[in-house]
Amino acid sequence: LRHFLTIEDLPCEILTEILDTAESFVSMGEQSVKKVPLLRGKTVMNLFFENSTRTRATFELAAKRLSADVLNLDIKTSSTAKGETLMDTLQNLEAMHADAFVVRHSESGAAHFIASQITPDVAIINAGDGRHAHPTQAMLDMFTIRRHKGAFEGLKVAIVGDILHSRVARSQIQALNTLGAAAVRVVAPKTLLPRDIEALGVEVYTRMEEGLKDVDVVIMLRLQRERMHGALLPSEGEYYRLYGLTQEKLTYARPDVIVMHPGPINRGVEIESAVADGPRSVILQQVSYGIATRMAVLSMATGGQAQQRELSQSMQQ
Ligand code: CP
């Protein structure tokens, strides 16, 4: 792994290696991941050009637990406000000897563009670009599913809500199909489905009762109004009535279903509080597993994992 820009085209072996590497960090302690020296002497720069709570905080924690030096550039108070271009900003940061840029941007393709312009010595990790991809979110979601369900074979997963504007849904669909889930369903009103939805390898449903029937995993998405740009929307009340996940609608799924959400959640819009905070919800576990999963991606992309393997092998000789 060098850059981590998208799940698309990554083979099952790489995705499994990320999950196994993340597992090695979590198994050091179920709740908290201990500090390891894998990235000592390396510098990780978090460049968030769009708002974030979970992704930014867990990338910072992940880099610190790997013993890297971490810089969080505050874009709002940076010299981009004085007219400096994105590329000039990045070249200046590169001159400070960064080993990885973790990039979030509102434009689809921003991370790919940066990867094509910057020296290959700097690993580019996509922390969400427009409506295109959010690969580390998808991997922490896969990690959560594997921890609860053991394997992907035979699993039926429903992704519900604003699929059209969701980078998370695209990355999740790619990861679930590559890892061998039995069925990946999307459940949404037609107006919130992309035109190419069938080509993504999913089963399409517009009614919750049918889409949730006998599923093992339900992933809820919020309405991503910041990317809608005047699209025709149902009222929140109407949307909640038809697509909001309530305890009643959850009974369509298997009794051992897990409920997931990448966050931020909008209570009473796409999910009822009794479900979000209820016994089938693993929403906060997803956040916790984000640390170990992002540690795995950072260490694989910056060579820390290779060093670990060499060290283990030399100790065995
Ligand atoms: N899931 C997610 O990307 O959350 P943040 O926007 O808070 O990082």
Determine whether the shortest distance from the Cβ of 106 to ligand 1 is under 6 A: no
Which residues make beta-bridge pairs with 133? 129
SS3 at position 47? strand
Q: What is the pTM of this model?
A: 0.94
Determine whether the shortest distance from the Cβ of 224 to ligand 1 is under 6 A: no
ipTM: 0.99
Classify the C-alpha dihedral 285-277-192-181 as positive or negative.
Answer: positive
Domain 12-133+287-303 matches domain 135-282 at the CATH topology level: yes
| In the chain, domain spans | 12-133+287-303, 135-282
pLDDT single digits (tens) 84-113: 998 999 999 999 999 999 999 999 999 999
Whether 168 contacts 134, CB under 8 Å? yes
CA–centroid distance, residue 42 to ligand 1 (Å): 25
Q: Is 224 annotated as a binding residue?
A: no
Q: Domain 12-133+287-303: what homologous superfamily? A: Aspartate/ornithine carbamoyltransferase (3.40.50.1370)
Share of the chain above pLDDT 90, in %: 83
Determine whether the shortest distance from the Cβ of 89 to ligand 1 is under 6 A: no
Query: What kind of fold does domain 135-282 have according to CATH?
Result: Rossmann fold (3.40.50)
Ramachandran region of residue 119, left (φ > 0), alpha (ψ -120 to 50) or beta?
beta
Nearest CA to ligand 1 atom 5: 52
Compare 314 and 12 and report the one with higher pLDDT. Answer: 12
Q: Is 54 annotated as a binding residue?
A: yes
Q: Closest ligand 1 atom to the C-alpha of 57?
A: 8
Query: Residue 315: its pLDDT value, please?
Result: 46
